[in-house]
Amino acid sequence: MGIESQNNEIQNKIREIARDLLKEKKVDVIIGYKKGTLPLVSQPIIIDKEEDIDTLIWNNLCYVNLAKYLVPRVPKLIDPEKGNLKVGIVSKGCVGRALIHLASEKKINLNEITIIGIPCNGIINRQRIEMEIGEQEILEVSISGDNIIVKGEDFEKTFPFEEYMNELCKVCKIKSPPSISKFPNLCVGDYQEYSSLSTDFKDVTEFEAKNPEEKWEYIKDSLSVCTRCYACREACPMCYCNLCFVDQNKPIWFGKTTDISDIIVYHLIRAMHMAGRCVACGACSSVCPMGIDLYLINRKLEKIVKERFNFTSGLDPDILPPMVDFKMEDAEEFMLEED
């Protein structure tokens, strides 16, 4: 079965489930995706009427992590009288993980949420395609068989889907929301058991083997185009601080320029804050206007947390995230010791 027909099937299923949920008043609103105004993008949408259901879509361009809209709740999800509305959320694997992780940080209440679980087959790396097309305008994008077909006024290009997926999607093991035994009725769509999560982190170890100078040059080159627009922060479901560290200005303890040292400080601290929390959705890379791919840094975080604390984010709402927990016997091989 081709990717396109799979997508259509999932899309029909989402609409069917969403219609039932709204009709039976099990949820007040549904958060999902709708067609974007440009060919290579999609938009998030919040639906509360049955007649709008047909605007819901599913394809390989739905890169936004919808969990973002629950923390903090957007005004549309709060009723002046009823308080928090019951939300149904169209949820691929990483959205499900984000929801579970946010629940473990006590940011959302899973009882108020209904997950419409769907199996995701990977998100297209929009930036890479745009970069290769160059300045020509893309008018139409479609998927046929295993290829992405991009059409413009006087060109038509095909890209193999497997290769032009997000790097994080290529190694993704959790395609649909992970199941939680405590909440058997949480999910109305597909659920996934997560028994085998072994990853070899080949991409990260390859990079780690380089010497410091090479690493620094690579990181510097890839991040130097950053304009500090903070789109990565805005798209990230885990970035919910009321006042982000980069916005604190009393005192101004954080450089605001686009000088390379300030950029790297931003990305370093962003990475610190993501440790043990990143759910590998790739939303940060997908929204970057400069096409910076943060996947390597995010993978590194995943590796550190997996190896040091044997933790994978977004699987169990009852396990404490590693950065708020500690053990007496944590490894301390990096500490300075007498000879």
User: Should residue 146 be labelled a site residue for other proteins when binding is judged by CB under 8 A?
Assistant: no
Residue closer to other proteins by CB (options 87, 239) is 239
CB of 107 to other proteins, least distance (A): 20
Query: Are 13 and 189 in contact, with CB atoms under 8 Å apart?
Result: yes
User: Should residue 214 be labelled a site residue for other proteins when binding is judged by CB under 8 A?
Assistant: yes
User: Should residue 50 be labelled a site residue for other proteins when binding is judged by CB under 8 A?
Assistant: no
User: Should residue 241 be labelled a site residue for other proteins when binding is judged by CB under 8 A?
Assistant: no
Helical residues (DSSP H) of the chain, grouped into ranges: 3-23, 93-104, 126-133, 167-170, 202-208, 212-223, 231-235, 260-274, 283-286, 295-309
CA distance 222 to 153: 31
The site for other proteins, by CB under 8 A, has a size of 49
User: Should residue 250 be labelled a site residue for other proteins when binding is judged by CB under 8 A?
Assistant: no
Exposed, middle or buried by CB within 10 Å (0-12, 13-18, 19+), for 86?
A: middle
Among 245, 247, 289, 290, binds other proteins (CB under 8 A): 245
Name the one range near other proteins by CB under 8 A: 104-112, 186-194, 285-293, 326-334.
326-334
User: Should residue 254 be labelled a site residue for other proteins when binding is judged by CB under 8 A?
Assistant: yes
User: Should residue 319 be labelled a site residue for other proteins when binding is judged by CB under 8 A?
Assistant: no
End-to-end Cα distance, the chain: 62
The DSSP annotation for 278-297 comes to -----HHHHT-TT----HHH
Among 163, 217, 234, 247, binds other proteins (CB under 8 A): 217
CA distance 236 to 244: 13
Eight-state DSSP code of residue 79: E
Among 182, 202, 215, 256, binds other proteins (CB under 8 A): 215
Long-range CB contacts for residues 131-138, cutoff 8 Å, separation at least 24: 131/291, 132/157, 132/159, 133/157, 138/38, 138/39, 138/40
Residue closer to other proteins by CB (options 15, 233) is 233
User: Should residue 253 be labelled a site residue for other proteins when binding is judged by CB under 8 A?
Assistant: yes
User: Should residue 1 be labelled a site residue for other proteins when binding is judged by CB under 8 A?
Assistant: no
CB of 322 to other proteins, least distance (A): 7
Q: Which of 284, 197, 207 is nearest to 239 (CA)?
A: 284
Residue closer to other proteins by CB (options 155, 216) is 216
User: Should residue 252 be labelled a site residue for other proteins when binding is judged by CB under 8 A?
Assistant: no
CB of 205 to other proteins, least distance (A): 11
Eight-state DSSP code of residue 153: S
Give contact residues for other proteins (rule: CB under 8 A): 207-208, 212-220, 245, 253-255, 257, 259-262, 264-265, 268-269, 271-272, 275, 297, 300-301, 304-305, 308-309, 322-323, 325-328, 330-332, 334-339
